[in-house]
């Protein structure tokens, strides 16, 4: 609530990107990748919310916060590490899309569906469709756990301290290993929130992303800097 205007300005980019990706999927007959692309927000979300983490960090220090100042303050020594980690998540996202396409090709494919409605019908009325659905959800869960373990606190940590990608990722993995129950619950909240935000043409992300982004910063402060 403290940054309503600035946050909306930043987060309006996410539904725009989602709508563009959806239109590309329809245009290039990639309907089977619509859901994988939408759910993929959970994989790149930690990188997409980096400006929100920075705004929370600045507010915590009592600084005057705007999206412009948050953007400029990212140019610190740890910026290169943030870029590298973001590229790693982008690579995971691409691998997820490749895996999703492979699962479709082995079940309902390899020919593209006639349209969205026939595709949805095939999913729920054929054995191949159910196989694709179960295999896709299981594979997506593995990707989600991988991203959760490696990035749940690594991005805020790199904003807060110049520790390098390796230390940040290992710290994130140790945090998840030490708190598996709460971290899995948090992962479920993130995935559920992003899914709900994506359903109404991704517009809900304008509300969901700020809540998850600022909450992630406070999660980091609780588990990595309790004395601060």
Which of the four pLDDT bands, split at 50, 70 and 90, describes residue 56?
confident
Question: What pLDDT shows up at residue 177?
Answer: 93
Angle, vertex CA 58, rays to CA 213 and CA 189, nearest 5 = 15
Taking the C-alpha atoms of residue 161 and residue 153, their distance in angstroms, rounded to an integer, is 12
Angle, vertex CA 226, rays to CA 86 and CA 70, nearest 5 = 40
Question: pTM of the predicted model, to two decimals?
Answer: 0.81
Angle, vertex CA 56, rays to CA 52 and CA 61, nearest 5 = 150
Question: What pLDDT shows up at residue 228?
Answer: 40
Q: What is the largest CA-CA distance in the chain?
A: 58
Q: Based on the number of CB atoms within 10 Å of its own CB, is 198 exposed (0-12), middle (13-18) or buried (19 or more)?
A: buried
**Is residue 85's pLDDT more than 70?**
yes
How many folded domains does the chain comprise?
Answer: 1
Instruction: Write out pLDDT tens, residues 115-155.
Output: 778 888 889 999 999 999 999 999 999 998 999 999 999 99
Direct distance between the N- and C-terminal alpha carbons of the chain, in angstroms, rounded to an integer: 23
The residue-averaged pLDDT of 197-215 equals 78
Q: Which residue range is the domain that position 208 belongs to? A: 4-224
């Amino acid at each position: 609530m403290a940054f309503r205007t600035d946050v909306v300005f930043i987060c309006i980019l996410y539904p725009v990107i989602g709508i563009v990706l959806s239109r590309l999927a329809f245009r290039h007959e990639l309907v089977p990748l619509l859901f994988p692309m939408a759910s993929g927000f959970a994989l790149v979300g930690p990188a997409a919310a980096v400006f929100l983490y920075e705004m929370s960090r600045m507010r915590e220090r009592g600084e005057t916060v705007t999206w412009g100042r948050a953007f400029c303050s990212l140019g610190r020594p740890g910026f290169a590490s943030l870029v590298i980690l973001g590229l790693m998540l982008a690579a995971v996202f691409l691998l997820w899309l490749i895996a999703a396409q492979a699962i479709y090709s082995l079940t309902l494919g390899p020919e593209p569906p006639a349209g969205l409605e026939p595709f949805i019908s095939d999913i729920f009325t054929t054995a191949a469709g159910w196989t694709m659905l179960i295999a896709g959800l299981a594979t997506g869960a593995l990707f989600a756990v991988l991203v959760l373990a490696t990035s749940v606190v690594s991005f805020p940590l790199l904003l807060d301290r110049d520790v390098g990608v390796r230390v940040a990722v290992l710290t994130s993995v140790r945090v998840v290993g030490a708190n598996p129950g709460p971290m899995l619950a948090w992962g479920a909240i993130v995935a559920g929130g992003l899914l709900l935000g994506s359903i109404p043409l991704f517009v809900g992300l304008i509300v969901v992303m700020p809540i998850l982004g600022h909450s992630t910063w406070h999660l980091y402060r609780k588990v990595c800097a309790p004395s601060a």
